[in-house]
Structure 1
Amino acid sequence: MQYFSSTWWLCRKVRRTTDRRPFVQAARILSAPPDDEARDEVLRAFGEWRDRDFQDRVLYGLREACRTGEQERHRPVPDLPHSVTRFLLTDDRIKEYFGHAEPKFGTGHRDLAEWLIDAALHSTDAEARSDLAGLLSETAHPDLLGRLDKAVWEALENEKHGHPSKVRLWDDGVPTDLTRIILANPNFPLPPTERQRSGQAVYAPEAIVAVLKDRLDKLADYLTPQLSYAVVSGLLEAVKFPAPADFVERSRQALRNLPPGIAREQVVQAALHNQPEAIAAAADAGYAPAEERDALAFLYITRQWDRYDAADPDGSRMTAYCAKYARPYVGTYRHQIELAAQISGRPNPCPKLPPPDPSAQTDRPHGAVGSWPTSWVSGSW
């Protein structure tokens, strides 16, 4: 009587059933300790790669079997062994799957793209990461490119907030796998999407990619009314990243070469709120507020004293400006002007504020107005 192994019986189920569970069980053999005979048996069964439904069940099994207990932004983190990535890339299986129409059920193109990119960034097997990096470095598929773009946004958020994550652009100043993929792929930086053009999406990681790839000529594509704030904010953050010096220098250069319009005004506003990099960029590039009346105050607030003293040698113009436009704190630049005077040891040009008028206070009488959990006015909650 011929003996058949448990793997043989499992693969027999894989070939004959539409149930996904045997596919998961078989896929776990690929991640288990080395058993070449069992692994080859599973690969032969999976390798038949028949119709779309069979392919979907194979991918479902691999996705379930190769997940770890960790999460990245509420997604299960995959860890693919080299045997799995080699299987997926052999005979262009992944490209074939992406070539099908988007399925109504099962593994969609975006789900697969997310899984592959997460695996490329998190897998512990160096050969598996290399396999997937090769695929992603040359892909032109819109779902893979879109998910890579999202990974860049996540990396920028992680850099900005210092989140402990493998999804970063640099590791102690050294480019990560994600950065190397972006640098190698000729399709980056991506053009703005329809959602970005319409203002539905107000983030622009592509602008930072343009700086990363030394394509500052592409920044103009993102300096639309909807995206200018995101671009300038991103550049002001980028100069503080633990990145190589050439990237930081290109970010500073981009801030100093913005075209007239909203983007420059964003730098001006950031400078008025005492952001050092914005102050330096505005001073170097000669940016000024859109309101001409605020130009002198801008020089004062940003402490460009050579230019300010040349424009207002005796301080009379600034005093007159403050008397007219900086009397209250709310809705004026009074706080910023006083801060600049304090930092620089100059006289405060703002007029003294009158003492508060006691008769203008409208304090209502205190009294019991109900108690929790009843209404704060009266009666029941």
Structure 2
Amino acid sequence: MDRELTPYRVRKLTEQALRPGGGFRARRAAARLCRPETVCLSHTSAHVEQLVHLLRSAPDPEMADQAARTLADPRVSGDPKLLAWTVTTLTNRPYSYGRLDGELSGRVLDFLLGPEVGPSRLETCLAGSGSLLHPRQSAASVGFWFIKAACTAEDDEVRARAGAFLSRTGQPHLLRALEETVLAAVGDRFRLMFSYAVDAVWKQRPILWDDDGEPSPLLRLHLANPHLPLRPGEKTPLPGHVQAHNGPLLAVLAQREDLIADYLAVHGPKVTVDSLFEGAAQRVSPDGFAAACRGALRALPVGPARERLCQKAARDYRDVGRAIVRETGWVWGDDEAAFCWFTEQWERYDALDPDGARLRAYGRTHRDDDDLFYRAKKIAKKTSRPNPFPPRPDPDRTPTSPRNRGPIGGWATSYGAGGFSTH
């Protein structure tokens, strides 16, 4: 009859099983540790941890396979707590809980993706046992770990099998983790928002393309999954700022421009248009990506989204917005002549404002707009046309400037006042 093993006894049996040279006593200790009945009777995380230790470190492959079979036994893996403890231990190196640095080996992958029929153990754990994981982990963090491991595992077969699984899974935690990881890569590539959760797992931030412009393994996994990209507004725990700023570019990457309308509705025109503008202005990107972003901008609906693009076209130093408004004929809601001047549509401007009166009036009423002030200064210098903005006083020559404030010494710490004297 099987008896419960104390944590101390479990540790001693593991030491015997892993003793160099092996032999009969090592095999007997492993056999006792690997009885499913004993594991269920003990029902401790310590027993599970030592079985995972055997699976990873046993010098005898048969001993490692024996530990793997025990962990996969329905009596063990069917228990929510034992399954959660197993997944927690597999995702971390020994005694490093919360770091999510465990290696994804073939045996580990066999456990996570089994059984062959029905949902995998990984999906089952994330769906029902996530709350039983180690306090430093969550179902989301396990998802981040698996995605990174699937992209960076040293074994080609492991990467291929894990990638095939991720490209078809519909498990919500895995989908959200995959979406956020790719969104973080978008943010890093285009200098937008990043994700703290992704940075905690990926010590080096994930990439979208390699040096040859080919999609990275991470991006290929995302593009292959039919459930992605996620529609904005769905009830997901994705960080709102990351989805809002980076999501429109991901929609273009995935050739899902139909999602742009959802981004405009959920996150507003400012952040959505600005994101697409960054993509359209890219000079170094995969073939067709910048053009696709420009196409998404040209397809913006009438209203605040077009107005935001017109504002960007007039204010931004890059020409991409001006090229679009010239093609489409769009005008902002303010003075049309001023818009044509700021977007350098000279024939159209000269016809609307031949004597420049409208432009000068616009400059007087908008003299405090810094973006337009410096943009006008640059255009005037480039084209030799008169600057419509009145000059601003030189801050170095105003009465409040320290240069014209009077004799030094008003404060006790001023130079020469003795406050910090070295004498």
Residue 355 (structure 1) shift: 7.9
Q: Is the 8 A contact 1:158 1:165 kept in 2?
A: no
Residue 53, structure 1, aligned to residue 81, structure 2: yes
Aligned residue for 2:13? none
Distance 1:241 1:128, change over 3 A: farther
The structure with more radius of gyration: 2
- Report the Cα distance in structure 2 between the residues aligned to 1:127 and 1:194, rounded to whole angstroms: 34
Query: Is contact 1:122-1:166 (8 Å) kept?
Result: no
Residue by residue, what CA displacement relative to the aligned partner does 1:28-70 show, whole Å, maximum 9, x if unpaired?
444448742122111112111231111112112211238999x
Q: Which structure 2 segments of 5+ residues have no match?
A: 1-22, 195-202, 415-423
Could you say which residue in structure 1 is the equivalent of 2:125? 97
Q: How many Å apart are 1:266 and its aligned residue?
A: 2.6
Q: 2:220 aligns with which of 151, 161, 180?
A: 180
* Aligned counterpart in structure 1 of residue 190 of structure 2, from 143, 153, 160: 160
Note if contact 1:151-1:167 (Cα within 8 Å) is conserved in structure 2.
Answer: yes
Partner of 2:68: 43
Instruction: Return the match for 1:312 from 334, 349, 353.
Output: 353
**Are 1:265 and 2:290 matched, yes or no?**
no
Out of 7, 12, 26, the position equivalent to 2:51 is 26
Distance (whole Å) between structure 2 residues aligned to residue 341 and residue 259 of structure 1: 32
Residue 200 to residue 148, structure 1, CA distance change in 2 (3 Å): closer
Q: How far apart, in 2, do the equivalents of 1:186 and 1:67 lie?
A: 37
Given the two structures, how large is their TM-score scaled by the length of structure 2? 0.73
1:250 Cα deviation after fit = 0.8
Hey, what does 2:339 align to over in structure 1?
A: 298
Alignment deviations for residues 183-228 of structure 1 (CA, whole Å, 9 cap, x no partner): 111122212136799x964733432232112221221111126333
Query: CA-to-partner distance for each residue in 1:129-179, whole Å, 9 max, x for gaps?
Result: 222222221122222221112112211122124999361221121111221
* Cross-structure match for 1:131: 161
Alpha carbons 2:88, 2:133 under 8 Å: kept: no
1:11 matched to which residue of 2? 34
- For residue 211 of structure 1, the aligned residue among 226, 242, 252 is 252
* Distance in 2 between residues matched to 1:47 and 1:346, nearest whole Å: 78
CA distance in 2 between partners of 1:359 and 1:165 (Å)? 49
SS at match of 1:138: coil
Q: 1:83 maps to what in 2?
A: 107
C-alpha distance in structure 2 between counterparts of 1:25 and 1:7, whole Å: 10
Q: Which residue of 156, 176, 196 corresponds with 1:146? A: 176
1:189 aligns with 2:211: no
CA distance in 1 between counterparts of 2:58 and 2:384 reads: 71
Whether the 8 Å CA contact 1:265–1:289 is kept in 2: the answer is: yes
Counterpart amino acid of residue 345 in structure 1: S
Does residue 246 of the first structure (1) align with residue 288 of the second (2)? yes
Contact 1:202 1:227 in 2 (8 A): no
Q: Secondary structure at the match of 2:190?
A: helix
What letter is aligned with 2:298? Answer: R
- The one of 340, 347, 352 equivalent to 2:386 is 347
1:65-124 CA-to-partner distances (Å, cap 9, x unmatched) read 38999xxxx964443112211221121222332442653554643233222222223322
What stretches of structure 1 of length at least 5 have no aligned partner?
372-381
Write the distance in 2 (CA, Å) between the matches of 1:340 and 1:81.
Answer: 60
Shift of 1:352: 4.8
Identify the residue that residue 234 of structure 1 maps to in structure 2. 275
Residue 111 of structure 1 corresponds to which residue in structure 2? 141
Distance 1:309 1:68 in 2: 70
Aligned residues: percent identity? Answer: 30
Between 234-243 and 206-215, the greater mean CA deviation after superposition: 234-243
Give the distance between the partners of 1:46 and 1:187, measured in 2 at CA: 31
Q: Distance in 2 between matches of 1:122 and 1:225?
A: 34
Find the counterpart in structure 1 of residue 265 from structure 2.
Answer: 224
Output the CA distance in 2 between the equivalents of 1:67 and 1:96: 25
Q: Is the 8 A contact 1:268 1:289 kept in 2?
A: yes
Instruction: Report the Cα distance in structure 1 between the residues aligned to 2:398 and 2:69, rounded to whole angstroms.
Output: 89
1:242 Cα shift?
4.1
Partner Cα distance (1:30, 1:225) in 2: 47
Stretch moving more, 166-175 or 341-350: 341-350
Cα RMSD (Å): 3.8
- 2: CA distance, partners of 1:7 / 1:21: 15
Alpha-carbon separation, structure 2, partners of 1:20 and 1:359:
72
